[in-house]
Chains A and B, each alone.
Chain A
Amino acid sequence: MEYWISYLYLFIVGGIIFTIPFIIAFKKKSISLKNPYDRWLVFAVLAVMILYAVIQGVWTYLVVY
């Protein structure tokens, strides 16, 4: 478990920080999923985070096990 603490902290605490601007931007209507360009932007930003979560998760798993 000690090898996973940093990973969990990164994606839980980092994930909370990452989510704050999404909530504000949607609440203030500065982005909208109805706008095709905003939609692309939202998914691209999410994809970056998910990609890093997967890569670093698989990497840790392969090293530890």
Chain B
Amino acid sequence: MDLFGRVLMIQTTVLDIVIIVAYFVGILAFGAYFMRYTKTTRDFFFGGQRFSWWLIGMSSVATTIGSYSFIKYAAAGYRYGFSSSMTYLNDWIILPFFVFGWLPIIYFKRIISIPEYFEKRFDRKSRIAALGIMLIYMLGYVGINFYTLGVALQPLLGINLYYIVIFVAVISAIYMHAGGQTSVIMTDLLQGFLLIICGFTLFYLGINHLGGFEKFLDGLPLTHKLPLANFNHPPKFNFAGIFWQDGVVNTVGFYFINQGVLMRFMSAKSHRESYKALFFVLLVLMPVAAIAAANAGWLGKAMVFYGMLPENTDPQHIFVAVTNLVTKPGLFGLILAALSAALMSTIDTLITAISALFVNDIWRPFVVKDREDRYYLKVAKWSALAISAIGVCLVPIFAAEQSIYVAHGKFIATVIPSLVVVILLSVFWKRFTPAAAFWTLVIGFIATAVVSYFPQAVQPIAHGVSPEGDYKYMRALFGLIVSLFLAVGITCFTKPKEDIDGLVIDSFYKAKEYFKGGKPNEVPGKTAKVIGQLKDITGVIVSHKILETMKANVGDLIYVTDARWYFGGLHSFHSKICGTHQHDDHIIYFNNENFENANIKENQKLKIEKVL
């Protein structure tokens, strides 16, 4: 065993192992507790669309920071410095596409899955083509997450990588099987806090170990301090390649195509709450996450400069090496638990998402049609277990690459450019035709995959990047250009679909009408504090004063929640105002079904607000 390995084995104590095991058991119990909130497939996949922005945002960060993030970004931070964080800080490029087009359309049209959108917007052929690419993309993500955790924990635990992967897969699958999206959101919330706290604790301890922030900065070369990478070299980490592969293709992949992320934003109590969650993620949590995930690499570089770590330390192991050096037994175990948290929170989201695709896009439309919801809920739960097993089987494919950063980037750049082009055009270009969508998906995907065997084809658009790295990142731009030409070219000679109301930006208002089932009311109103009482009615009855406070009318869609903010909407329901009363202004009436679904009690303090 090498020096690095010996150091790790010496420092891994029984206390660390106990903390890691206790953490896994705790998460399992916590996730399984939320089984009570899952009664329908809507609950299983979307958590009942009831949560507050801060809960969605915080849990999204746990999803964003995968286990691969700690290993991948710490390794990149060690090799290239602060610019390793740029992949977390470039999501703004795509933000308006998401905010003004994609999110409101899928939210208002109640799109359950992305392939479903493709069928409504185009045809069944396009749905199947999109489904195929999405499954490759998301199952690949599951595989790379499992593999990374194995890479991190194997030298510490000294057991076979596949045993670690299988153990984690079983834990994740059990609580997902029990509680679906609600369990995922609640455990991700907990894990989001844990991994950010641990990431910053590690940073603080590392700075102290080095002797202060100034000494830390002095230990880094100038190029390591810049926020952005060098424009076109080295081939394995350059700005131009990462701009197109990560900033454009992967960001669209993450926000538009990653069914798990989409389901998270769909779980918000309203579209406005989704926007708030998104801004919270981009402005606050992404920069925080970038520091939490990559700081071990930055610290490691400075530690090597001061001779605290050997110069030949493997970048893939820098996270564990730095953690091991600056923490004490117990805390070391906790930080490793945070690493596991990062994996589980990403993997559970992905598996629930693939389960949604399987049920809604394969099982329900093609295999067993028109059964009761309870049946599909059962299929969803069992499919989550099967998908975990497939993810484990994919681990050897990623294990064949030497760098996780390159493996991940290459995978993204190869698989999704055609889907990115089709999805953006489908929302923002009404004329875009079903034939163009289908052939762009198919030919664009094949062209991007085949170019990995003929990398010289990328050279004319390579921005001066050396061919040494086979243009692993720049092939994303190649895929975008080829797909865009196909999409525009074929659209010019084919016929667009006519009945697409509410599915493109041109008919935005229709989507809102569809969501509400009537004319939307967008007059800004206020939230009111109320007391809930039971009555045998359909909908909710409020006083005139409450109606005025919310600037609402009879027939408007409203949201009622437990007044205690820290539940984040867990105890809540949506309904419509069906009438007004003349009694106490603060009383609202609704039926027993709402009470039971929302897990609230009679005469409980509640908040009510208008949605639309």
Binding site for B on A (CB under 8 A): 2-3, 5-7, 9-10, 13-14, 17-22, 24-25, 28, 30-31, 35-37, 41, 44-45, 48-49, 51-52, 55-56, 59-60, 63-64
Is the pair A59, B92 in contact by a Cβ cutoff of 8 Å?
Answer: no
Q: Which residues of B contact A18 (CB under 8 A)?
A: 92-93, 95-96
**Least Cβ–Cβ distance between A13 and chain B, in angstroms:** 7
**Least Cβ–Cβ distance between A21 and chain B, in angstroms:** 4
Interface string of B243-267 (1 = CB under 8 A from A): 1000110000000000000000000
Q: Which residues of B contact A7 (CB under 8 A)?
A: 228
Report which residue of B92, B99, B243 has the largest number of chain A beta carbons within 10 angstroms of its beta carbon.
B92
Choose the segment among B275-283, B297-305, B392-400 that binds chain A (4+ C-beta atoms closer than 8 Å).
B275-283
Is the pair A49, B231 in contact by a Cβ cutoff of 8 Å?
Answer: no
Binding site for A on B (CB under 8 A): 89-90, 92-97, 99-101, 222, 225-231, 239-240, 243, 247-248, 272, 275, 279, 282-283, 428, 505-506, 508-509, 522, 524
Is the pair B222, A25 in contact by a Cβ cutoff of 8 Å?
Answer: no
B98 nearest in chain A by CB position: A21
CA gap between A64 and B61 in the complex, in Å:
31
Given A59-B227, A63-B226 in contact, is the A30-B100 Cβ separation under 8 Å? yes
CA gap between A19 and B428 in the complex, in Å:
13
Is the pair A52, B508 in contact by a Cβ cutoff of 8 Å?
Answer: no
Q: List 30 A-B contacts (CB under 8 A).
A: A6-B239, A9-B239, A10-B228, A13-B243, A14-B90, A14-B93, A14-B243, A18-B92, A18-B93, A18-B96, A19-B96, A20-B428, A22-B96, A24-B100, A24-B505, A25-B101, A25-B505, A36-B524, A37-B272, A37-B524, A45-B96, A45-B99, A48-B95, A49-B95, A51-B283, A52-B89, A56-B89, A59-B226, A63-B227, A64-B226
**Least Cβ–Cβ distance between B272 and chain A, in angstroms:** 7
A51 nearest in chain B by CB position: B283
Is the pair B231, A48 in contact by a Cβ cutoff of 8 Å?
Answer: no
Q: Which residues of B contact A17 (CB under 8 A)?
A: 93-94, 248
Interface of B is mostly: helix
Contact of A21 among B96, B231, B509, B522 (CB under 8 A): B96
Q: Which residues of A contact B272 (CB under 8 A)?
A: 37
Is the pair B228, A56 in contact by a Cβ cutoff of 8 Å?
Answer: yes
Q: Which residues of B contact A19 (CB under 8 A)?
A: 96
Contact of A14 among B247, B275, B283 (CB under 8 A): B247
A21 nearest in chain B by CB position: B96
CA gap between A63 and B82 in the complex, in Å:
11
A31 nearest in chain B by CB position: B100
CA gap between A40 and B48 in the complex, in Å:
27
**Least Cβ–Cβ distance between A40 and chain B, in angstroms:** 9
CA gap between A48 and B276 in the complex, in Å:
12
CA gap between A35 and B272 in the complex, in Å:
14
B463 nearest in chain A by CB position: A9
Is the pair B505, A10 in contact by a Cβ cutoff of 8 Å?
Answer: no
Given A18-B96, A60-B227, A63-B225 in contact, is the A30-B90 Cβ separation under 8 Å? no
Is the pair B240, A9 in contact by a Cβ cutoff of 8 Å?
Answer: yes
Given A6-B228, A49-B95 in contact, is the A41-B283 Cβ separation under 8 Å? no
